[in-house]
Amino acid sequence: MASHASNLWVLLGLGIAGILLAAKKLKKTIREDFGAFVDKLLLLPPPQPAPPKAPHPLTGLSFAISDVFDVTGYVTGFGHPDWVKTHEAASSTCPVVSTLVEGGATCVGKTVVDELAFSISGENKHYESPTNPAAHDRIPGGACSGAAVAVATNAVDFALGIDTVGGVRVPAGYCGVLGFKSSHGAISNTGIIPVSSSLDSVGWFARDPNTLRRVGHVLLHLPFATQRNPRQIIVADDYFQLLKIPVDRITQVVTKSAEKLFGRQSLKHQNLESYFESKVPSLKEFTRTKAIANTKAPTSRLLANVMQLLQRHEFLQNHGDWINTVKPAIDPVISSQVCENAELTNEEIENLNAIRNQTRVAINSLLKDDSILVIPTMPTLPPKLGSKEIISEDYQNRASSLLSVASISGCCQVTVPLGRHEKCPVSVSFIGRHGGDRFLLDTVQTMYASLQENSSIVADPKSSKKTISQEESAEIAKEKGNQAFKEKQWQKAIGLYSEAIKLSENNATYYSNRAAAYLEIGSFLLAEEDCTKAIALDKKNVKAYLRRGTAREMLGEYKEAMDDFRHALVLEPNNKRASLSAERLRKAFYLDTLCESSPKMESKYYRCNGVLAFTKIGFPKLTFILNNGYRNSRSSSNQCEVRIRIKRGVNLAVRDINSSDPYVVVKMGKQKLKTRVINKDVNPEWNEDLTLSVTDPTLTVLLTVYDHDMFSKDDKMGDAEFEIKPYIEALKMHLDGLPSGTIVTTVQPCRRNCLAEESKVTWVDGKLVQDLVLRLRHVECGEVEAQLQWIDLPGSKGL
């Protein structure tokens, strides 16, 4: 008996020891940063511009970069230690990275990439594979696995990667984050180690669509434009048959969201196989070359083969000499893929390029500029670490077929997470036409909240069958919105609060909460509108007054903002936020404080109706609002002129073979003036003054750009209208003695004007000038920069 008992104790001890060892091993496997980083660094953004200029667009965001982007003083590792040993530190920083830093973001480190950034598994034996935070026993996906993991673990707000054959899209889908592949050539690849030049596209990861969009606008240098909804959501039914998970798990989510947001008529179903077969005739020629033996292969497989051939061929062109010289230890799987059929004849290369061009034309023709193509991101759930599934022919064929559509066409694609299936992340991909990056980013932002909501319903259908009242459903949506708000997922919160409002439109809290989310993303007008609705429903809603006060302060409506803060104090006399805000505005903006500090100011002006905002000498960076207005007395007259300086054109449309010969015509009333012609330049600099007599300040000015033709009628290159009324109103203030550079007033871009960005009326060297950047209408692209200046005619009384 004693012997038997002792054996039990031995077995128990061995069991406990085994558990401890396993726990210790697991602890080592999941490192502090999940193995995402290879280098920590710090690239700080420049100082913020002084008010009233807007802060940098990416202020407060941190980001990481995949180890293929150059940073001054660091060796770009390319996922291989032998590459580090045989290369010098970069002498300059990649322009893409510099653009993000200059935009206000802070770069904190470099992240792991697959060996030579070649595969899509995310496994790298040289640096230890990053741990997939969404499923620890599954691969994170590659090539930019570390970047996806850094975003998924909240280590950074966004991360940069390079997408050749799925390097951003795959890890985004497997780690449960958003991943955007830009249109090929839309962002410069300078300072990035190339994998395959005709396939490489810059991409980035984010956890929410707002951050994804903000980064995209900075990288793509996108000007202000009204957001558009898609006309059609095109589902590639045959490509969904490549899935090894239930098709409905993804298609139902997309279908329900599209119907809810854009109507049932927006949905269209497409067989891509037959479409490509008819639109890409060079694929038939491809089957007759030595590159492929199976002439009956589907077009999806053929496109996958084209992608793989291009990747291998161009990779060896870029790095074959280094591999032959250094003879690095390369993973056998990657080595075999690189060497397989890598040599191509000139005829075969020409045919592959023809396929690329025809595929791009086919996708652009299908989508035009207002549709989105929907396909699966990957055919399976993330494979398990070390499994043979990753290298199986079936997995490679299915995955390459899905990934080749955007890679070969060069179109933009975004991976959107859709929750989980069998405890692993699942996703869907949206593809936009080549060059339609802004439209794709806008579509994701519009659909994201609805996609997440429907994903939850599809994943747990039992929950949707429970019968609950509309009020209860609204409260559930609100609570989900509150949780999303806590997690700083502003757009998701807005979508959930909007859903609550649809279910119960008379609840002030829902409007007030949505206003808080709008404030976080800088949508101050929408925040003010929601707060006003909340106050109409509940006159004692203190938070609504506080949030409306904040929105109005940011919009420059200082008196109204102070009224809101004071009203909040009436309702809650001990509210510190209201008290501090009201006191801050009183001290900073009200005339009493100004006059006490500067008696000369008071003697120079007398009281009248109106409001004036400017910066006074002795009060640096301080904007004053003169309550009820102040101006000095002068007589008025309308015998004056306005000088319009036409400075330059930016990215004007091409109307000749490769360029244009632009000139500008300005019309106001019956007056018509024009600039000189500048030959062969779509970014011309005129710096030419055109002077118009002003008899009616309410008239609009029409600016039209033409392309001069020698033997035919001049082609129109777009037009823009603008008003001089805001400038005239500033002139009527009769300012004098202000510091040069003082901003008197601003005009915001909106649907009613053609402004591409905020227009400022500024006091410069004793005169008022207004700078304008006008976006041209009725044309594919182009802006014109101009400046207004007033001229008093001799003997006139002025304004």
Report whether pLDDT(99) > 90: yes
- Under DSSP, the state recorded for 135 is -
pTM of full prediction above 0.85: no
CATH number of 470-591: 1.25.40.10
As to burial, measured by CB atoms within 10 angstroms (0-12 exposed, 13-18 middle, 19+ buried), residue 267 is middle
pLDDT of residue 526: 87
CATH 2.60.40.150 in the chain, residues? 640-791
Strand segments, DSSP code E, in 207-279 are: 232-236, 267-270
Tokens of residue 770, six digits: 């207004």
pLDDT in the model for residue 11: 61
Least confidently predicted of 285-299, 670-684, 707-721: 285-299
**Above 80 in pLDDT, residue 608?**
no
Q: Is the pLDDT at 588 greater than 80, yes or no?
A: no
Query: 116-130, 208-222, 593-607, 780-794: which has the minimum mean pLDDT?
Result: 593-607
Q: How far are the Cα atoms of 196, 294, 306, 316, 600 from residue 288, in angstroms, in the given order?
A: 24, 9, 13, 24, 89
pLDDT value of residue 617: 32
pLDDT on residue 460: 72
Residue 532 has pLDDT above 90, yes or no: yes
The pLDDT score that the predictor gives to residue 342 is 59
Per-residue pLDDT at 32 exceeds 80: no
pLDDT at 722 over 50: yes
Band (143; pLDDT cuts 50, 70, 90): very high
Report the percent of the chain where pLDDT is more than 70.
Answer: 86
Binned at pLDDT 50, 70 and 90, residue 7 comes out as: low
- Which residues lie below 8 Å from residue 504, measured CB to CB, with a gap of 6+? 470, 471, 474, 510
Instruction: Tell me which fold the domain 640-791 belongs to.
Output: Immunoglobulin-like (2.60.40)
Is 315 strand, coil or helix?
Answer: helix
pLDDT band at 341; cut points 50, 70, 90? low
Q: What is the pLDDT of residues 392-403, one digit of tens each?
A: 999 999 999 999
Query: Residue 531 in contact with residue 544, Cβ under 8 Å?
Result: yes
pLDDT in tens, 738-751: 778 888 888 888 76
- pLDDT, residue 338, reads 76
Who has greater pLDDT, 70 or 6? 70
- Residue extent(s) of CATH 1.25.40.10 domains in the chain: 470-591
| Confidence tier at 340 by pLDDT (50, 70, 90) | low
Identify the pLDDT of residue 595: 46
Look-up: residue for tokens 């989900």? 480
Instruction: Say which range, 290-294, 533-537, 714-718, has the weakest mean pLDDT.
Output: 290-294
- End-to-end alpha carbon distance in the chain: 114
Once rounded to an integer, what is the mean pLDDT over residues 521-527?
84
Question: CATH 3.90.1300.10 spans which residues of the chain?
Answer: 37-276+357-459
Does the pLDDT of residue 637 top 60, yes or no? no
- Residue 462: pLDDT band (50, 70, 90) is low
Query: Residue 166's Cα: distance from chain center in Å?
Result: 19
Position 361 pLDDT exceeds 90: yes
Q: Are 204 and 212 in contact (CB under 8 A)?
A: yes
Mean per-residue pLDDT over the chain, rounded: 85
pLDDT at 474: 87
Q: Is residue 30 over pLDDT 60?
A: no
Q: Is pLDDT of 295 > 80?
A: no
User: Looking at the predicted structure, is the pLDDT value of residue 710 above 80?
Assistant: no
> What is the Cα–Cα distance from 385 to 396, expressed in whole angstroms?
16
Whether the CB-CB separation of 510 and 480 falls below 8 Å is answered with no
Q: How many CA atoms lie within 13 A of 16 on its CB side?
A: 6
Average pLDDT over residues 519-532: 88
pLDDT tens string 231-277: 999 999 999 999 999 999 999 999 999 988 888 888 999 999 999 99
Q: CA-to-CA distance for 635 and 797, rounded, in angstroms?
A: 6
Of the ranges 284-293, 497-506, 610-619, the best mean pLDDT one: 497-506
Output 204 or 487, whichever has higher pLDDT: 204
**Residue that wins the pLDDT comparison between 696 and 355:** 355
User: Which stretch, 77-86, 487-496, 523-532, 754-763, has highest mean pLDDT?
Assistant: 77-86
The CATH architecture one would assign to domain 37-276+357-459 is Alpha-Beta Complex (3.90)
Neighbours of 626 (CB within 10 A): 22
Task: Please give the average per-residue pLDDT across 362-370, as a whole number.
Answer: 93
Given this model, what pLDDT does residue 490 score?
86
Q: What is the DSSP-derived secondary structure letter of residue 195?
A: S
